[in-house]
Structure formats: structure tokens, C-alpha cells
Structure 1
Amino acid sequence: MGDIRRLGVLTSGGDCAGLNAVIRAVVQRAVRTYGWKVLGIKDGTMGLMDRPLQYRELDLETFSGGVLREGGTLLGTTNKGDPFNFPMPDGTFRDRSMDFVDGFNRLRLDALVVIGGDGSMNIVSRLCERGGIGMVGVPKTIDNDVHGTDYAVGFSTACAVVTDALDRLQPTAASHHRVMILEVMGRDAGHIAINSGIAGGADVILIPEVGYTLDGITRKIRGVLNEGRSHALIVVAEGVRTESGEKATVAQADGQIRYGGIGQYLTHALAQRLPDVETRVTVLGHVQRGGAPDARDRMLASSFGVHAVDLVAAGQFGRMVAWQNRGVTSVPLEEATIGPRSLEPDGPLIGVARGLGTYVGEEDPARATETTAETEGTAAAQS
């Protein structure tokens, strides 16, 4: 790649807290240590695909105020439109990958720092490979499902938001003697649910990686009530399926199918099994993405941004910065972009939750399978 003089940085995929802290760290390290010029690409890959190009110069003055503390991303981001199969206004699809490469070259950039999740980094890494562009990745996602790193930027703040929601739901649950269900994000991984569920004292935590039964949930709630408590808290990850194995999804106005509805499903199901107990559901949704990053996310973002620039300076491209063994390191991008990282069904946090008496699905996987089969058989007989 030769000497680096002009560095590009972009955010891609869903937003989260801590993105601006990463961008700040990239600029601080690139400008102060190496004397480079940094260009921020607007709206992810679209900034290099649009004509005219969408970008802004980032300097020390940009971050002289409170940007470190702000949620979201000052550059904007996108999680729509595959550049290799991009939807056009006339309804057709076209490969626009070389538009991205051409935009990079027009700005005379020497390398690119990409802040994204496993999906968006996979796409951008393929774009960079096609154009011979040196890329370093920074993992960010509230779902914390990127391989190769213990933590991604945004996860800690999202967990703090969920825990705060549980802290607020508990008093109203106790006041009205209700079961409160909190549906949280996470896609097909239960990292947010298990971490915040433990921190928030949930009685039931449902995650996509472990099968459950409605009878199991009912037994747990009855047990809590029999112990003398008048209320209970349930945390359910959005990717959890119904007892019969169906995904809970909703169709968006743009035609995309997204997770949503498992909390409502559980509300109706438990109302039938616990007719004497009021059940309410709260869907936290995008509240988990917003707000100021907490201290851990600011520290993680700053460490990642500095290390990413150092990798660029050393010519170590095709890598993603990562947090392992209480420190920052890097891993090959091909190891980090193999798909979402799920929880291990017998992982330590699941053991902790069960040690606290929390119902985290069936400990015997066969039991959940057998109960699902029984449910499907009963439904078939009734139809």
C-alpha cells in the first residue's frame, strides 16, 4: 500500500452507542501520531457509491466538544442495499461494487477503517478485496455476536439500558402483582438477554440457543408466587421462537421481514395457563441502540480506534481489532465474518442464571424437543 497519507473511516450496519467514540479515537491517533488526513464517509458504503461523493473531513476540532459522549454516528449509517446486488429505481438489481471502489479512488484514500457488525464487515471486506483496498475492521453491535472478540462496541450500553428497564418494571410489577415480560433485541443470539436478565434479577430468561416449554415457564412463575412473591420478571430475546418452532416476525413497510412479536405471543400463552395472574409485555426496541455510551463502551471504542489506526500504519490489513484476555488485539477478518456468534447452551452465564434459580429453558434439550412434538401433535389432531 505504500505510505499512508489519507485515511477513510465509515460506519455501516445498525447504529449503537460508542460509534462516535471510535471515530474520535481514529482521528486523534491518525492526526496526532501520524499526521494523516482523515475523511469520514457518510452513510456507510453509500457515501462512496453516491455521486457526488458524500464525505466530510474530520480533524481535531471536530472532536473538541462532547462528541465522545453522543450516541449514534455523526457520519450516518445504512443497513440496506447489497452493493453486489443493489436495488435500482426501475425495480432491477445491479452490481455496484465498482462504484464503491471508484469512489475510494476518487478521494485518493490510502486505506479504510470500517466500523461494523459481522454482516456489514463481510460485505465491505468483499468490496475492498475487489478493489485492492487496505481495510481494518472495528466490531460494533449491540448483539455482541461478532466472532473473535469478547465484546463489541455498543453491547455494554445496550445491556445497561435493558437492566435499567428491568429496574423500572419491577416496582410496577410488584405494585400490581403482575408478570412483566420484556422483549429485547439480539437477533439470533441471546447475549443481551442473558447478561441483562442476570443483572436485572429476571425469573425467566429465554434465549434462541436454548429450547423452552410453556409448561416450564408456568412452573417457574407458580413457584415464585408460592414462595410468597406477588410478581415476576421475564426477559425474552427477539429471536426466540414459539414453542412449536415458528419465528415471531413482522413485515415492514419496505417489505423486509424483521423479528418482533415473541413477547406478545408469550403474553397470550401465559394468560391461558395463569388466568389468575395479569401479564404485560414491554418491547424495548430501538431504545437499546440510543443514548450516550457508558464508560465501558467509551473505553472499548477508544482502544479499538487507536489500535485500528496502528494496524493501518503497520500495513496489517484484512484484520479486525478485538478484545480478548482483558486487552486489545486483532484477528483475521475471515475469522470474524463467518456469521453470528451464538451463546453456548452450556456456557458459564447460563450456569450462573440457573444457579440463581432462573428458568433459562430446559436443561435437558430432549425435554424441549419432546414437548414441542407433543404440542405439534395436539395441534394437528385439533385441526
Structure 2
Amino acid sequence: MRIGILTSGGDCPGLNAVIRGAVLNGIKSHDYEFVGFRDGWRGVKESDVIDLPRQAVRGIAKQGGTILGTSRTNAFEGENGGAENIARNLEQLGVDALIAIGGEGTLAGAKRLCDEGIRIVGVPKTIDNDLDATDYTFGFDTANQIAVEAIDRLRTTGESHHRCMVAEVMGRHVGWIALHSGMASGAHAILIPEQSTSMDQICEWVNEANERGRAPLVVVAEGFVPEGDSEAFSTRGLDTFGRPRLGGIGELLAPMIEERTGIETRATVLGHIQRGGVPSAFDRVLATRLGMAAVDSVANEAWGTMVALHGTHINRVPLRAALNNLKRVPQNRYEEAKLLFG
């Protein structure tokens, strides 16, 4: 059997470990052949492939990014898009099945193609940890560690100047990165999309920390919507999916905090630095296990399924299970963190 692998959507640490795990398991356990499609669905639509023998994946688990490249290409748009064209391309290349590694958009496209007869299994990927049906996604642990290291540095300069520091992290719809990095770094306020918080409350937390002689630290997710506003802050137009490009809520909050509290306040947007660099040990292991399990799903002809982490076990779930709802921060987790605020 000849299997095609693609990485689609936003990049994140651990993608290469998935590729390596899939190729090694496929070759050693099943005698499969592998090709990689360049730049996600674009490569599938344009038959842009590279061979993936065992030597091609040697030592790549520790590398960030993806050796295949990625893009936010829609599998159904353009003259080469759609199930009929993709099926023809795969047949011409002798590719019998696809392993699609990506987030909600990638897996939604994979499910639609699978419903139309293309043999696909999925591997969940997102640093936001917002995919339902899996406890954790690889990339999330690394993104958190990167955020914590940056926030720790902000704290030292904030303490030196007796400033309030606002750190903006990624998180369009969910606040997992803000919650985890904020708790790990001892933030005095954590602001997430799931919780609408007033400026009065934010400033109360900042003042409480300041009155104890601390340099206040606020961690905010890019998708946070302050109480009274109707949508997340955006001034940068739309992305390729027609969604507002987020970023800048920290810069909006900082002068408001300074004006209301009288504490000099600075904001830093971490942005795409959270996506880069080498994956953590946890993410390398998780990604490798998911890649290996995806090949086993192919061997068992479990088309239309996704491999998922449940506790410490890798299980299979239908692709639709990952697409029904975003995995949001539950109220009890935020209430737990709030005990540490101020």
C-alpha cells in the first residue's frame, strides 16, 4: 500500500514527529510506502509530492515546523479542487490512502472527502488545544512552555520598573494557552474568550497585586472580549477563511489599565513565536504515538476516523466527533484559576 501524508493549516511543533512515527511504523510493521504532499491540500490538488523513505524522516522528530510545508488551502476550491479531481490525482500517483494532519478546517475537509469515497484517516493538530474528542493535541505543551518562558522574562523587567505587564497569547475562541501559561507564571489576572470580564474587575486585580508590592501581571488571550464589547478586537482585516485577524487586545488594555490605576503599564504580543521552535518532550512523544496509531488505522481500514488521546491511551474516534464543538475552558477550571488572581 502507498500512503500519502499531508500537513495542513497552521504549523506547530510536533508535526515532523507525526510524520516520522507514521513512516517508521508503516515501513516496519506493514511494509507500506509513503509520499508526502507539499503544502497541505495544495499539494494534493496539484500532485506535488516527495517520496518519504525511512532515511527522509531520520532525526526529524526534534525539528520544529514541518518538512512537508503547510498552507491554508481549501481542498474544494479552484479548478483542481473537489473529491473527483483529488481522487483522480491520487489514482495517477498510485496513492491508496491519505493521512491528514491538521486542525478543525483540515479535518472538516478530510471528512467531506471521505464521505465522497476517498480513504482518509486524521491526526488532530492545534496549539490552541480546542479540538473536541481528544484530551490534548501536540503543540499545545510547547506553546505553553514558550509562553511561560517569555512571560517570566516580562515579569523581571516589570518588577524592576514597578510596572504592570500585559502578555497577549494566542487563543481565538478558547483560552487554554492563556489559562495554563498564566497559572504557570503566577499571573494576577487571566483573561480568556470564554469569560467576559469588566475593566473594573481587571483593575481591581491589578491594584490588589500592586498594593502587596508586586508588579502586576495580566495574561490575555487574543480572542478575549471585554465586558460591554460584542466581538474580539481586530484591526488587521480578514484571513484566508474570511475570519477577522486577531491581535492587539493587549495593546488596547494596557493604556486603559494605566489610566484607571495610575500604574505604568506595558503590553507585549507573543504572536507566532508560540508556534516556532523545537517541540517539547511531551509533544514529541504524543506526536510520535499519534503518527504510529494513524498508520494502524489505515491498516484496519478505519476510514473517516481520527486518532485521539484519552487519558494516556490513543483511541479512534469519528472525524465528526472533533467537529461538533470547540473544546472550551470549563467554568470550574476558570473558577479554580481565579482563586489565584489579584
TM-score normalised to structure 1 length: 0.85
Question: Which whole-Å CA distance do the structure 2 matches of 1:25 and 1:334 have between them?
Answer: 24
1:37 paired with 2:33, answer yes
**Following superposition of structure 1 onto structure 2, how do residues 224-243 of structure 1 map, counting pairs within 5 Å?**
224-229=209-214, 231-243=215-227
Show the counterpart of 1:376: none
| Paired letter, 2:71 | T
Q: 1:134 aligns with which of 114, 119, 122?
A: 119
Query: 1:316: Cα distance to partner?
Result: 1.2
Match of 1:68 in 2: 61
Per-residue deviation, 1:244: 2.1
Q: 1:184 to 1:100 in 2, by over 3 A?
A: same
Letter in 2 for 1:358: F
| DSSP-derived class of the 1:83 partner | coil
Query: How many Å separate the matches in 2 of 1:303 and 1:25?
Result: 7
- Distance in structure 2 (CA, Å) of the matches to 1:154 and 1:267: 29
The residue aligned with 1:55 is: 49
- C-alpha distance in 2, partners of 1:288/1:237? 12
Q: Does 1:8 align with 2:4?
A: yes
Structure 1 CA distance, aligned partners of 2:227 and 2:266? 19
Structure 2, unaligned runs of 5 or more:
none
Counterpart CA distance in 1 for 2:298 and 2:82 is 26
Fraction of identical pairs, as percent: 42
The one of 156, 162, 169 equivalent to 1:171 is 156
Segments of 4+ moved more than 6 angstroms: none
TM-score, normalising length: structure 2? 0.95
What is the aligned length? 339
> Residue 149 of structure 1: SS of its match in structure 2?
coil
Q: How big is the shift at 1:330?
A: 1.4
Q: How far off its partner does 1:320 sit?
A: 0.6
Q: How does 1:332-347 map to 2 (within 5 A)?
A: 332-347=318-333
Give how far 1:167 is off: 1.1
TM-superposed CA distance for 1:358, in Å, is: 1.6
- 1:84 Cα shift? 2.8
Amino acid at match of 2:188: D
Corresponding residue for 1:358? 341
Distance 1:323 1:259, change over 3 A: same
Q: 2:171 aligns with which of 167, 170, 186?
A: 186
Q: Is 1:98 matched up with 2:84?
A: yes
| Structure with greater Cα Rg | 1
Moved more, 25-34 or 255-264: 255-264
**CA RMSD after TM alignment:** 1.7
Q: Contact conserved, 1:241 with 1:248, CA < 8 A, in 2?
A: yes
1:338 to partner: Cα distance: 2.1
Deviations 1:238-264 (A, max 9, x none): 111133223201325878531112111
Given the alignment of the two structures, is residue 274 of structure 1 paired with residue 245 of structure 2, yes or no?
A: no
Secondary structure in 2 matching 1:180 = strand
User: Contact 1:238/1:259 (CA < 8 Å) preserved in 2?
Assistant: yes
Q: Secondary structure at the match of 2:50?
A: strand
Q: Is 1:83 the counterpart of 2:66 in the alignment?
A: no
Provide Cα deviations, 1:112-160, integer angstroms capped at 9, x if missing partner: 1111111211012212322x11111111100000110010111110000
Q: Residue 304 of structure 2 corresponds to which residue in structure 1?
A: 318
Query: Shift of the alpha carbon at 1:95?
Result: 5.7
